Structure 1
Amino acid sequence: MEEMTHPAEIENKREYTKLLVEVLPHVIHTEEENERYTAVLERLLAKRNRTAEETRILELLTLLIEDFEEKNYSLPKATPCDVVRHLMESNGLRQIDLIEVFGTESIVSEVLNGKRAFAKSHIEKLSKRFNVSPEVFFGSASKSLTRKVNHR
């Protein structure tokens, strides 16, 4: 979740109450509710000069939508090997193309088959090569790697 700046205090309680009644925010249980809240969120995001009250509603909807989507759309945990294989496939690479990262083709093979652990230097080089955070190679990469990454 992106960290939002702390908005100004609610200046107009009547306006905030009106927005609450209009939106009726609550924990999202269905796809229809998620779509409705997402539409409201997008409308608020597109607004140039949001009031403090609108910003508070926007923050609340963001939390509700993220909670629903995290529970319903989360990806399974990817192992570091899965991440490297995905990056290789996305960039049309073969094991031989990663020799500069691992040193030898046999080490590439051993690491990708789980017979050898990733060394710190491997993670640093992979991170630079694919332009991703080193964190994706620590076994908890459950976030999407859908952005096209650069290969050299």
Structure 2
Amino acid sequence: MALTINPDTYNQLLIKFQPKVIETEAEYQEYGDILIELMMETNRSEEETAILKLISALIKEYDEKQEQPKPASPHEILQYLMEEHNMKQVDLVGKIGSKGVVSEVVNGKRSISKSQAKTLAEIFHVSPALFI
């Protein structure tokens, strides 16, 4: 169902918010604040709804253009979890293998096996899929 908007009211909102393509992080934050303001409006007019949709589209467009971080590798996840839990390699010896195996796994020189992934998942209370 298409909105029926009052051009004068809509123009006033355009003047107030001055929407344009987002080019900086500061503009992105500003538009996020505008979006929240419009979403919090309990009796939002059709014109405000139209502006809300426009601002949402501009935010989405900016988000889609941002470089996505590359996924962490299983050994990077392991290193992170070990750091967060104040663990050293020696803490995993005997649980996922010998001292040499643990060193190779933690440093990414050896893949994490399914059984090691299951053990690590139990140790860190996460899904084994993180390590595979």
The TM-score normalised by the length of structure 1 is 0.57
How far apart, in 1, do the equivalents of 2:76 and 2:102 lie? Answer: 13
Cα distance in structure 2, aligned partners of 1:131 and 1:23: 46
Correspondence for 2:34: 40
Which residue in 1 is equivalent to 2:100?
Answer: 106
Identity between Structure 1 and Structure 2 (%): 31
Matched pairs, number: 126
1:117 and 2:108 equivalent?
A: no
Residues 133 and 79 (structure 1), Cα distance of their counterparts in 2 relative to 1, 3 Å cut = same
RMSD across aligned positions (CA): 3.7
Greater CA drift, 57-66 or 29-38: 57-66
Provide the residue aligned with 1:141 in structure 2: none
Higher relative contact order (CA 8 A, sep 6+): 1
Structure with greater proportional helix content: 2
* Closer, same or farther: CA 44–79 of 1 in aligned 2, 3 Å: same
Note the residue ranges of structure 1 that are not aligned, 5 or more in a row: 1-8, 139-152
| CA distance in 1: counterparts of 2:35 and 2:125, whole angstroms | 31
Secondary structure at the aligned position of 2:72 is classed as coil
Distance 1:121 1:51 in 2: 58
Aligned pair in 2 of structure 1 residues 47, 113: CA closer, same or farther (>3 Å)?
same
Matched, 1:60 2:75: no
Distance between the aligned counterparts of 1:135 and 1:25, measured in 2? 42
Cα distance in structure 2, aligned partners of 1:15 and 1:125: 63
SS, match of residue 14 in structure 1: coil
Amino acid of the structure 2 residue aligned with 1:36: E
Tell me if the contact between 1:41 and 1:62 (Cα under 8 Å) persists in the aligned partners: no
CA distance in structure 1 between the aligned counterparts of 2:37 and 2:44, rounded to whole angstroms: 11
* 1:91–1:32 distance in 2 versus 1, CA, 3 Å: same
Alpha-carbon distance, 1:105 to partner: 3.2
Among 85, 88, 94, the residue aligned to 1:91: 85
Give secondary structure in 2 for the equivalent of 1:102: coil
Work out which of the two has the higher radius of gyration on C-alpha atoms and give 1 or 2: 2
1:14 aligned partner: 5
Residue 25 and residue 84 in structure 1: after superposition, are their counterparts in 2 closer, same or farther (change >3 A)?
farther
